[in-house]
Amino acid sequence: MFTLSHFTSPPPESIKNQIMQLVIDNVTDISAVAIAPSNPLYRLYQYGLGLEVNLYQEAMDGSKGIAVELIVALDEQEPATVVGFLLYLPAQDDPQACAVAYMAVQTSRRRQGIARAMVTDMLTRYPHAELACFVAKVPYFAAMGFQVLGARGPQVVMNTRDHATDGLVAVLDTAPIYRTLEVRQIHTYLLQQLGKRAMIDAEKQRDRNLDILTRQARVFVEGLSG
């Protein structure tokens, strides 16, 4: 069993650190590029995505001028242990709307209703919610009341209503993360360990997979409208 906690300000460091580990362990599911563990670039995305989520948690103090809220699932028997999290962004000028940014559940705790409970908790506060997911996850979120609005790159956009909010969902610019010294150092290390050819192949593999997912999303949405 589990319990849910809701945060509108930065959570304790112990929770932040466990969320970071959940991100690192679930990069393929969370990342918009669906990077595979077998891809040498996986380590880069582990670091980058972990830092992305951490920046959003830090922004919960209001310093970045954006709205961020967090739902954390805690083990009922060990209440200090995080088993899942859902980070979402409330919309400006629309008190009913929000957008899911990141969500993950501990692998060993899946199929226990944790993700559904977190989403349901979010919807009690913001019933007009939007998210983006890969085609394979569409039935899962459809069962929670989301419907397909369209395709956005490799993902399908889903919403609890038949339209997007008119409110603004403010996001952080996370692109600079991938130009930081730390990321360059990781890239240099991988380059030295694997060689230039392997790194080029890794980038091509990532891009091919993205192309496939993008076609899947487009065809899927076109199939619904047709």
Dist. CA 7–CA 59, nearest whole Å: 12
- In sequence order, what are the residues at sequence separation of 6 or more whose Cβ sits closer than 8 angstroms to the Cβ of residue 31? 45, 49
CB 172 within 8 A of CB 55: yes
pLDDT of 148 reads 97
Dist. CA 82–CA 2, nearest whole Å: 9
Position 189, amino acid: Y
pLDDT of 226 reads 64
Lookup: tokens for 3 = 């319990």
Dist. CA 38–CA 57, nearest whole Å: 29
Helix (H, G, I), strand (E, B) or coil at 39: coil
* Residue whose token pair is 């060993």: 108
Lookup: tokens for 201 = 């192949």
Q: Which helix (H) or strand (E) holds 209?
A: helix 196-225
Q: Which residues of the chain have pLDDT under 50?
A: none
Domains located in the chain, CATH noted: 2-126+171-216 (3.40.630)
Rg, C-alpha atoms of the chain: 18
What CA–CA distances, in Å, run from 32 to 10, 82, 152, 156, 209? 24, 23, 10, 11, 11
* Residue whose token pair is 């979010």: 122
* Residue whose token pair is 């989403």: 119
pLDDT of 179 reads 85
Lookup: tokens for 140 = 């899962």
Task: Select from 96, 92, 91 the least CA-distant residue to 125.
Answer: 96
Helix (H, G, I), strand (E, B) or coil at 90: strand
pLDDT of 178 reads 82
CB 82 within 8 A of CB 18: yes
